[in-house]
Each structure stands twice: as C-alpha cells, then as structure tokens.
Amino acid sequence: MSGHGNRRKRSLLIGINYTGSQHELHGCHQDIENVADFLSYRGYRPEDQVVLRDDRPGMQMPTGQNIIRAMDWLVSEPGTCNFLHYSGHGGQVEDPTGRHPTGLLDTIVPVDYEETGQISSDFLHKHLISNLPPNSTLFVILDCCHSGSALELPYVYKSDDDGNISMLDNLKEGVKLFAEGADILSGPFSAYKLAEAKDLYAGATNFFRSWQHRNDPEGLGGSDYQGDYAGERKTVTMFSGCRDDQTSADANIGGRASGAMTWAFLESMRKGAGESYMATLQETRFSLRSSRYDQVPQLSVGWEIDLNQPLIM
C-alpha cells in the first residue's frame, strides 16, 4: 500500500440543503466548506476538485445528471487518490430487480429527485467502485440517512461504546434485524412502529446482500456485477452514519449548522486519529456519543483490512 501519498489527488464535494423545500437542511454547504479546508492540508488542489451545491447554477448544481457526471469524472483516471464527500438526504427506493428481501435499496437524493429520481446503492457501486481503476484509491464520507450500505461494500466494521471494533457477521446480523422488525410489528400498530420496523428490515436487507456478495463469488444470486463485490478488492474506504435519522444528519455544532457525521470525522482527524482506521472509527464514535448523537458511525471497505494501518486518503 506504499506510495499512495505521491499520487495525483482528486476530490468531489457534494452539499445539498434543498433550500426552499419542505425537506430543507441547513448544514450541508458548511460541511463541504469544512471538508475542503481539511483536504487543502492533505495536498488536494482546488484545480482537481469539483464542488456541487444547490446555491450554485449550471454544472455546479447537484442534479442527478451532474452528480453522476462528476462521479464518473472522479474515478476516470488511473493511478489517482480520490476523495468523495456527500452531505444531504439519504433515502430508500424499491428494488426494481426484486432480488432483495425487503425490496429496498439505499439512496442518495439529488436536488431534482422529484423529476429524475434518487440514485440507488447498486447504481453508486457500479459507477464508483466497479469503474474505479485497479491502481486508484477512493475514500468516501457519506453524511446522510440510510447510508450504511450506500456503496454496497463487502466488509463492514463498527465500534461499540467501549471502543471495541468488530467486523459484522452479516448473516447473523440480518436474521437478528428481521426478528426485531417482526417483533415491533407484533404489538399495537402505529405509524412510528411501522417506520421503525421498515428501517430494521432495510438494515437486514443490506446485511443479507453484503453476505451474499461475499459468499456468491460467481454472482449466481445477484445482478451481473453484484456477485463480484468481494472479489473486486478495490482500495475503497467509506465512513458513514448507520441508519441515522434526519436530526443526526443535520445537527447544530457550536452554534453553526453542520452534519454530525462530518463534524465528528473532522474532529477525529484534528485529534490525530488518522494514524489508523481503528483510531478514526473509535474517535468518531466517541465524538458523536459525547455530543449526545445516537447515530453509530460505520467503516465499510472493499477489501479485508488491517485496522491498525494509516488511512489511505
């Protein structure tokens, strides 16, 4: 893994406040300004950076078409070190293939989603991971709801409150989540319970799908590229909140609107946690918990990783 620091660096920063809509957020533009400052200290140059935000016109507006075009640009050049930050809404849509147990896919939400739709996890994986040149790297931060499996990466790690980190057993975790969802629905009905159960079922779907990718190398149970996810072995890292709610995604830190996940990650970097994946995940979890945010940060990677190695960024 040596030599990554000498590569050309590219970055794509996407911040969507959905200004003037009933789904308006407030901290997403500030998030990408904070991240841009952070990247400038790590050798990322403005001329190799694309910024999409919904207070800018034309090609810089984060429409679905512009987001996809920018993502394709980001991973188009071999031998590069690439960084993607997304701050905005995350959602879920019905799976058109009908292959997933709950029929749901995680998404990111472009500013024009009502006209063009949301961008699904399968689509994101195909454009960002499958199209990433084998000798390039990609580092991703997703600060949005339902972001845990948004890139469909095969290896997933979490930290508990005591700092213990484990790789999730996707089969057992999926069974557990399905059981929890069913248990919620067994009591008196309410809209809140239905929403909570749907979230648990969606989480179970993601775990089962990830487990299938790792155990179905021929792709017999998935789409043309799904079965190859674990076999791709791309150098991809994603930090995200796991099934966070809207309040966590759009927080108020120090009197300024900011994404809680983005803030916590940058705090961990400021404290030197970038010395290792383990320290970054632990410190990000600690920052969120100490500020009383319930979301659980998650590390997803494209290959089985030594958590004690420095971040490839």
- 23 catalytic, yes or no? no
- 28 catalytic, yes or no? no
CA distance 186 to 181: 9
Catalytic residue among 145, 146, 213, 242: 145
CA distance 280 to 93: 31
Q: How many CB atoms lie within 10 A of CB 119?
A: 24
Catalytic residue among 28, 29, 81, 89: 89
Return the amino acid letter for 149.
Answer: S
In the chain, DSSP assigns E strands to 8-15, 49-53, 80-87, 90-94, 104-108, 119-120, 137-143, 155-159, 165-167, 235-242, 251-253, 256-258, 296-301
Q: How many CB atoms lie within 10 A of CB 17?
A: 25
CA distance 98 to 310: 39
Return the amino acid letter for 208.
Answer: F
Supply the residues annotated as catalytic: 89, 145
